[in-house]
Amino acid sequence: MMNLLKIYRPIWQFLLVFFGTYSFFSGLYFYFLDYWSAHGIVVDPITNVVGQQVQWTLQYLGYDGLVTPWAGTEDVVISIMNQPVARLVEGCNAVSVMILFAAFVIGIPQKISRSLLFLFFGFMALYGINILRIVLISIGIYIRPRWATILHDVVFPGIIYGMVLLLWIIWIWQYKSKVNTDG
């Protein structure tokens, strides 16, 4: 039994660091959400900023887009041409996805500076693709309302999780090339 633990030590170490990091940062994020909720802020600041940037992007692309709080909820409504097309909820701000991404990167050890730089650019890429996916799906629902379910249930998660997967693959390639040059 001890031999199996020794053989698979890197895997156990990765899993321990991954789940520890994910749990820690998820706990901090839920504390952040509870803090704002307890202080009477209906829409948390991150979701609010995402909504503002979605509105700005829609308007930049020539759509009469408006993102406003939905009365009595923690959500905001995305409207195009005064027609509500989507709700932007806390889960749409990509923070949970960024935490998942970070836990994986931290779980595969590399130099701290390299990890922090990759995390920074990964967060920027995820944030940007998240704004873009919300905008594109909102436009898609506005143009083809019948596609709302497929856009939300398939395309919406496919874009963001596809980006996470791509970033993870890049991170593993960097790790693999580091191991190959060191060994």
Q: What is the pLDDT of residues 95-152, one digit of tens each?
A: 999 999 999 999 998 899 999 999 999 999 999 999 999 999 999 999 999 999 998 9
**Has residue 119 been placed in a domain?**
yes
**Has residue 76 been placed in a domain?**
no
Distances, alpha carbon 54 to alpha carbons 39, 77, 130, in Å: 25, 11, 9
Contact 107, 115 (CB under 8 A): no
Element (H, E) at 124: helix 112-143
State residue 62's pLDDT score: 95
Confidence of residue 6 (pLDDT cuts 50, 70, 90): confident
**Has residue 82 been placed in a domain?**
no
Q: What distance in Å separates the CA atoms of residue 154 and residue 177, rounded to the nearest whole number?
A: 34
**Has residue 167 been placed in a domain?**
yes
Q: What distance in Å separates the CA atoms of residue 70 and residue 77, rounded to the nearest whole number?
A: 6
User: Quick one: what percent of the chain has pLDDT higher than 70?
Assistant: 95
Element (H, E) at 86: strand 83-88
Q: What is the pTM of this model?
A: 0.88
Structural domain harbouring 109: 8-42+93-176
**Has residue 61 been placed in a domain?**
no
**Domains contained in the chain, number:** 1
**Has residue 23 been placed in a domain?**
yes
Phi first, then psi: give them for residue 2, nearest 5 degrees.
-65, -30
pLDDT at 183 > cutoff 60: no
| Mean of pLDDT over the chain | 90
**Has residue 133 been placed in a domain?**
yes
Q: What distance in Å separates the CA atoms of residue 158 and residue 133, rounded to the nearest whole number?
A: 10
**Has residue 57 been placed in a domain?**
no
Q: What distance in Å separates the CA atoms of residue 166 and residue 60, rounded to the nearest whole number?
A: 28
CA 120, chain centre distance (Å): 13
